[in-house]
Amino acid sequence: MMKFKRIIASALCGAVIAMSAAVPVLAKTFPDVEGDASVSWAKASINSMTDKGYIKGYEDGNFKPQQAITKVEALLLMSRIMGVDEQDYEMSVDWAAENYEDTVTAVNSQYPSELSYLMYLNVLNLTDLRNYASSANVNTSLLRWQAAYLMVKLAGKDSDAQQLEIKDKSVYSDFDKIPAEAQKYVVYATNSNIMNGMGKDENGKDYFSPDTTLTRAQMAVLLDRMITMLGRTATLGTVSSIDYESGAIEIATQDGRTEGCEIENIDTVIKFDGKDAKIDDIEKGDEIMVTFTNDAPRLIEAIAGQAVETVYGVIGQLSESGGRQQIIIRDPESDDKGTTYNVSASCVYNIKGARGTFKDLKVGNNIEAVLTGDSITSVTVNEKETTVTGVFESVQGDNSSDSYIVLYDEKADKTTNYQLSTGNISVKRNGAIANLRDLSRGDSVTLTMTNGRVTEISAKSDTAEHVGTIREIVLSDKPEITIEIDGKNQTYYMSTATKVKVNNVDGTIYDLRPGNSASIVVDGSMLSSIESSATATYGKTSVSGKVQSVNNTLKVISLQGVGGATETVYYDASTTFLKSNGKSATAKDIVAGSNVSVTGSDTTGYFVATIIIID
């Protein structure tokens, strides 16, 4: 983690860097290149590649341009032009080793870093590793069709090549000699000018010569061409915004600029802490390094940034001195003078929908400021009154200055807290006047915010009707009823507006009984109405057992009866309580652990006691 931050902070300074050689060296010439007219076409590329340190000559001072290049030599060169030896990718190489080195060393223990790095970049898969780096293949010569396959994968176009439809196999006269698994790659490489044919055959047609070995001179030219085509660059900084649906990411660089990228290619490699990831794993405030090839994001690496917090309020004061910018943000509903925040040099400013600067801010602006660590990294200036939509999750707090409504954003797949006004908040649910307690999880909510505080809430819910059996009733500030519906228990909340009927007579929650059938109308997780009636009559006249629990509010006793079965007994004003010695008693004399004998009737669908004798 710290190592990645160090690279961002010092090695690249958050800028866009054009990737070239790790350590350029002085131009070097080779006698067998200078003196061989047959390789003059490759001289510039050989010199360029050796000057940049990607490819080397031999100890005798020669380059040996006509010598065939081996498969493993090709892989090593590919890893170098993708940055395996560069400081900017030091953390990437470490992550690659952490995730792939065990796999690589099982096949090839001589070059673990380079081969792990190519697997990290999705240039090589396990089959490729075996085909090009195993002991049986490592020192064999690289063939032209193999070079085409590897270069397309190096370019990050593996999926594009696989999806290619070959309409004309006459592109090369020897096309049928190309292995079937490589034909699309050869065509793609040809169409992209990565590789061309070997000239004309005796019939004047282009031929590819797939089984011809690739020489060191040809490899130098091919890789020089790939470097130019890839145009590898990297952008580093902090994620200032991210659109999970479109794949667009905005990056605040440390020199104050904003750079963007949009993930369109499925071959784009995404890593979080060096592990395979998806765009959904990246959040605003994370540190990020995006490597571009062909002007598109090829590798996206992210690590968790500093803690991110959003502050709403109005600007009380702006100051700029000695290169340091500060903003005082105050609560518009408080007499407090506000809190002073330092502004990051890379802060992104959105002024009522348009990009701006610190100088565009004004005292009194209603703002949404994103804090990364201790500094403001993003400021959005909103109208005095704005609206926000989402799915209701909960309300936190007690309507004080620290109270929030929590909404879930389905598009971004995350929850956000919105601070509630300390004044009167207008709440409507399904068009009717309501209060915060009437909101139900799952409601579709529109918030009206004034100066960054929620002042109006409009909620809608999807209503549904169900029929089931009451299984549990919980009395609390927000009563709950659990109802078995189609074999599954569902818990719903009741509010003061919930309509209750029992046996077609208006009632309250105290008239409901577990075991009774119920027809309900629900709004999200809230009961709009419940109609209950007795479901069965068994003719039971007596029960006995040990008391497990007593609820004197609901007037219900739970017993462990004969054989361990649970029995539920209700009592009412007409129930007589006696002790086993014949003396009178009350419901309060019944406690957990007591043994009781009950006489009564279940003709109403639940057992109601006439006499309860307490042992």
CA pair distance 150, 73, nearest whole angstrom: 12
Domains of the chain are 2-230 (no CATH), 233-303 (2.40.50), 308-382 (2.40.50), 392-459 (no CATH), 463-533 (2.40.50.320), 542-614 (2.40.50.320)
Over range 329-335, report the average pLDDT.
Answer: 86
Q: Which pLDDT band holds residue 254 (cuts at 50, 70, 90)?
A: low
Widest Cα–Cα separation across the chain: 125
- The pLDDT value recorded for residue 553 is 79
8 Å CB contact between 320 and 313? no
- pLDDT at 565 > cutoff 90: no
Reported as a single tens digit per residue, the pLDDT across 261-282 is 899 888 999 999 999 999 999 9
Reported as a single tens digit per residue, the pLDDT across 51-78 is 888 888 888 889 999 999 999 999 999 9
Q: Which two tokens stand for residue 517?
A: 């059938």
Reported as a single tens digit per residue, the pLDDT across 284-310 is 888 999 999 988 999 999 998 776 788
Reported as a single tens digit per residue, the pLDDT across 347-362 is 889 887 788 999 999 9
CA torsion through residues 486, 492, 498, 504, sign? positive
Over range 556-572, report the average pLDDT.
Answer: 84
Q: Which pLDDT band holds residue 462 (cuts at 50, 70, 90)?
A: confident
8 Å CB contact between 598 and 544? yes
Q: Which two tokens stand for residue 613?
A: 């004798």
Would you call 272 helix, strand, or coil by DSSP?
A: strand
- pLDDT at 89 > cutoff 90: yes
Burial of 149 (0-12, 13-18, 19+ CB in 10 A): buried
Mean pLDDT (the chain) is 86
- The pLDDT value recorded for residue 536 is 53
- The pLDDT value recorded for residue 607 is 81
CA pair distance 293, 278, nearest whole angstrom: 19
Q: DSSP string covering 198-223, please? A: --B-TTS-B---TTSBPBHHHHHHHH
Length reported for the chain: 615
One-letter amino acid for residue 592 of the chain: A
pTM greater than 0.75: no
8 Å CB contact between 367 and 315? yes
Q: Which two tokens stand for residue 591?
A: 């406690």
CA pair distance 185, 556, nearest whole angstrom: 76
With a CB cutoff of 8 Å and minimum separation 6, the contacts of 118 are 75, 78, 79, 82, 124
Q: DSSP string covering 304-365, please? A: --S-EEEEEEEEEEEEEETTEEEEEEE-TTS----EEEEEEEEEEEEETTEEE-GGG--TT-
Top mean-pLDDT range of 90-99, 258-267, 445-454, 488-497: 90-99
- The pLDDT value recorded for residue 26 is 42
Over range 244-258, report the average pLDDT.
Answer: 82
8 Å CB contact between 393 and 441? yes
Q: What is the DSSP pairing of strand 324-330 with strand 339-351?
A: antiparallel
CA pair distance 363, 342, nearest whole angstrom: 16
C-alpha dihedral (430, 431, 436, 438), degrees to nearest 10: -40
* pLDDT-above-70 percentage for the chain: 93
Reported as a single tens digit per residue, the pLDDT across 506-531 is 888 877 877 788 999 987 778 889 99
* pLDDT-above-90 percentage for the chain: 45
- The pLDDT value recorded for residue 84 is 94
The DSSP 8-state label assigned to residue 273 in this structure reads T
Residue predicted with more confidence, 269 or 245: 269
Reported as a single tens digit per residue, the pLDDT across 105-116 is 999 999 999 999
Residue predicted with more confidence, 14 or 348: 348
Q: Which pLDDT band holds residue 28 (cuts at 50, 70, 90)?
A: low
- The pLDDT value recorded for residue 148 is 96
- pLDDT at 1 > cutoff 90: no
- The pLDDT value recorded for residue 414 is 77
- Number of Cβ atoms within 10 Å of the Cβ of 489: 12
Q: Which two tokens stand for residue 291?
A: 């490597």
Over range 532-536, report the average pLDDT.
Answer: 69
8 Å CB contact between 588 and 571? no
